[in-house]
């Protein structure tokens, strides 16, 4: 009865409502659609092939001095990029960090690792020249007193506050990872909530582009296989992205069109071979090195950078990552290849590339450089790290040799050069050998006109190779030259010979070799050929040809206790050398119709 009364009351109340009141319905308020989170910006900064160039370099022009390169100036660029993307920068190096300058070599790379620690590198790859120092101490190869061929590299790995990586180095005898190379060649770092996996890789060419005996117990496995396996391991460990930092590269004629690979050495460049063998998406970015070249391209969909050498430039890959899926938004990826590192630059062109600017030398006006509207200033903390090493070598670096160079002696990798002629003539002259052979990758700088200093010669040939003499027949010499010129290592410089080559870097590149003037060698005679011991030990492709010789034909002069550089200096001083380059006629080229590709790294 009570329930019926309540129902009747409700009906009465409803009947009393006006039509307008009865029709009114309370609106349903819906929450505004949620805005998708902004993509995460990740900035990958890559350096490569620093080769010990800690300090800035300079070139004087009529209107002032250009100062370029150097890790103190690079620090200024790095600070600007970190300020623009706080917590979103990954800094890596693609190897060949420390071999190459007097400042670095006298400490076996310690000064470079100290600076890299201060700059906050996240990882670096092992390059072929990381093995050059051999044991701790002055000996470049293991001996009774210094038996560990990896001693210097182990010391640098222990010193580094960042991992020095390579996933494709194994002990030959056991097929296991070297005990001194910790981990599996990978590391994961976190940036803005992203787990970023990094895998290091080293060129499989390493046994031919370092002193072979230093890596005789190691093998360097194929890049693509190791990159794929490492990527799978990293993603299984929770990595959202995977970056390869690899001491292996390629060459392209420019980087203005990052999706265009025409003219690149895609058929032989190691980074192209690796990327084209990987399933798309295996890697999200690659920082390459070794070829001292320029890359700023998408290869098989992945952004790849390489930035010349000697600390004069760095590369930048900017990834936009979906905050929800943690996947790279491909069409928002940006590559900035080979950013020049300038303390001062030309006011008109904003460049500090001294070689390119020489074409308009009279108009070059050096002024302080600016990066992203911020003045570039050399980092005082980095300069203080360089100062002790620089002070230790200043006297030696500037030591006058009592000789003058009348004109610039310029090196060339792919043809005969004035520098190569003068140095190979010196090597042959000081030993009385019949011929001399020098690999173009052994020349690391040009020799400038003016009073000759020890430091200038050191920059040209920083390697502590000894003088070696190989005694061969004409037929054996032919096999050596065929191996040298067919190894894709550029145009070997010669003295006492004239060689004719195919224009392209092909395996059968050598067409002929004769004495000066075209006279044939005597098939019955034994000839003495002088060369750096790097070559006599099988470097730069000579190994197979030398392996056919008797042991007594190769004299490494291991007990001599000197090196090519110091021996040349003594010879030049005794001879009072004029350094006037001879007329270039030793190396000539024949176009046989092949489509040429670029040389490999060194």
114 and 189 inside one domain: yes
**What is the number of alpha carbons within 13 Å of residue 278 lying toward its C-beta?**
29
Query: Based on the domain organization, do 415 and 554 belong to the same domain?
Result: yes
Q: Any idea what the CATH number is for the domain that residue 433 is in?
A: 3.90.780.10
Q: Is residue 32 part of a domain?
A: no
Residue 364 has pLDDT above 60, yes or no: yes
pLDDT band for position 139 (cuts 50, 70, 90) = confident
pLDDT digits (tens, 9 = 90+) for 520-570: 999 999 999 999 999 999 999 999 999 999 989 999 987 677 899 999 999
Q: What is the pLDDT of residues 181-201, one digit of tens each?
A: 989 999 999 999 999 999 999
Considering the domain architecture, whether residues 414 and 540 belong to the same structural domain is answered as yes
Instruction: Pick the last residue of a domain from 298, 325, 342.
Output: 342
* Residue where a domain terminates, one of 302, 319, 342: 342
- Whether 574 and 448 map to the same domain: the answer is yes
Indicate if 294 and 424 belong to the same structural domain. Answer: no
Instruction: Clarify whether residues 281 and 204 are in a common domain.
Output: yes
DSSP letter, residue 320: E
Provide the mean pLDDT of the chain: 93
Would the pLDDT of 290 be above 80? yes
Say if strands 164-165 and 123-125 run parallel, antiparallel, or are unpaired: parallel
Structural contact between residues 600 and 488, judged by C-beta atoms closer than 8 angstroms: yes
Sort residue 55 into left (φ over 0), alpha (ψ -120 to 50) or beta.
beta
Dump pLDDT digits (tens) for 69-119. 999 999 999 999 999 999 999 999 999 999 999 999 999 999 999 999 999
Residue 25 lies in a domain: no
Residue 109 within a domain: yes
The pLDDT of residue 602: 67
Same domain, 179 and 277: yes
Domain that holds residue 283: 43-56+86-142+150-342
Q: Is 388 inside any structural domain?
A: no
Same domain membership, residue 427 and residue 543: yes
Please count the structural domains in the chain: 2
Residue 8 reports pLDDT greater than 50: no
pLDDT at position 227 is 98
pLDDT score recorded for residue 404? 97
pLDDT band at residue 24 under the 50/70/90 scheme: low
Query: CB-based contacts of 400: which residues, under 8 Å, 6+ apart?
Result: 451, 452, 453
**DSSP class per residue in 517-556:** GGPPPPTT-EEEEEEEHHHHTTGGGTHHHHTTS-GGGEE-
Q: Say what the pTM is.
A: 0.89
For residues 231 and 244, what is the distance between their CA atoms, to the nearest angstrom? 9
335 and 404 both lie in a single domain: no
């Amino acid at each position: 009865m009570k329930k019926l009364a309540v129902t009747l009351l409700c009906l009465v109340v409803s009947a009393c409502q006006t039509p307008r009141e009865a029709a009114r319905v309370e609106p349903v308020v819906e929450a505004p659609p949620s805005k998708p989170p902004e993509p995460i910006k990740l900035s990958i900064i890559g350096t490569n092939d620093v080769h010990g160039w800690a300090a800035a370099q300079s070139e004087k022009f009529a209107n002032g001095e250009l100062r370029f390169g150097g890790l103190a100036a690079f620090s200024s660029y790095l600070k600007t990029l970190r300020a623009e993307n706080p917590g979103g920068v990954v800094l890596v190096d693609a190897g060949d960090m420390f071999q190459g300058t007097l400042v670095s070599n006298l400490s076996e790379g310690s000064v470079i690792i100290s600076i890299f620690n201060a700059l906050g590198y996240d990882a670096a790859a092992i390059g072929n020249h990381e093995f050059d120092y051999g044991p701790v101490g002055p000996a470049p190869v293991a001996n009774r007193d210094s038996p560990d061929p990896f001693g210097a590299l182990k010391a640098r790995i222990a010193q580094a506050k960042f991992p020095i990586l390579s996933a494709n180095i194994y002990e030959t005898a056991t097929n296991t990872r070297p005990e001194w190379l910790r981990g599996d060649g990978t590391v994961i770092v976190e940036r803005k909530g992203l787990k970023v996996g990094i895998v290091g890789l080293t060129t499989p060419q390493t046994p031919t582009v370092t002193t072979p005996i230093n890596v005789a117990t190691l093998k360097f496995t194929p890049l693509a296989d190791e990159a794929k396996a490492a990527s799978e391991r990293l993603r299984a460990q929770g990595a959202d992205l995977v970056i390869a930092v690899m001491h292996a590269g390629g060459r392209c004629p420019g980087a203005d069109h990052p999706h265009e690979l025409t003219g690149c050495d895609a058929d032989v460049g190691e980074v192209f071979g690796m990327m084209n063998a990987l399933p798309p998406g295996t890697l999200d970015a690659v920082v390459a090195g070794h070829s001292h070249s320029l890359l700023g391209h998408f290869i098989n969909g992945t952004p790849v950078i390489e930035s010349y050498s000697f600390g004069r430039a760095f590369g930048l890959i900017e990834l936009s990552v979906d905050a929800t899926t943690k996947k790279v938004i491909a069409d928002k990826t940006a590559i900035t290849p080979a950013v020049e590192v300038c303390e001062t630059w030309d006011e008109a062109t904003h460049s500090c590339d001294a070689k390119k600017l020489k074409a308009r030398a009279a108009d070059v006006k050096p002024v302080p450089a600016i990066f992203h509207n911020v003045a570039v200033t050399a980092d005082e903390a980095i300069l203080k790290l360089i100062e002790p090493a620089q002070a230790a070598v200043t006297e030696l670096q500037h030591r006058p040799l009592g000789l003058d160079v009348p004109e610039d002696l310029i090196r060339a990798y792919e043809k005969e050069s004035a520098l190569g002629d003068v140095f190979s003539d010196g090597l042959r002259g000081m030993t009385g050998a019949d011929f001399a052979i020098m690999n173009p990758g052994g020349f690391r700088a040009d020799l400038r006109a003016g009073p000759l200093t020890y430091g200038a010669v050191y920059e040209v040939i920083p390697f502590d190779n000894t003088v070696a003499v190989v005694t061969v027949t004409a037929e054996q010499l032919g096999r050596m030259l065929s191996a040298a010129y067919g190894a894709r290592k550029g145009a070997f410089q010669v003295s006492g010979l004239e060689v004719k080559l195919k224009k392209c870097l092909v395996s059968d590149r050598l067409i002929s070799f004769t004495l000066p003037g075209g006279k044939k060698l005597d098939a019955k005679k034994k000839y003495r050929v002088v060369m750096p011991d790097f070559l006599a030990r099988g470097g730069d492709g000579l190994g197979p040809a030398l392996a056919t010789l008797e042991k007594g034909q190769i004299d490494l002069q291991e007990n001599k206790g000197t090196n090519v550089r110091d021996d040349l200096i003594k010879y030049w001083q005794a001879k009072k050398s004029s350094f006037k380059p001879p007329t270039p006629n030793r190396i000539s080229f024949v176009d046989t119709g092949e489509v040429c590709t670029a040389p490999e790294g060194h």
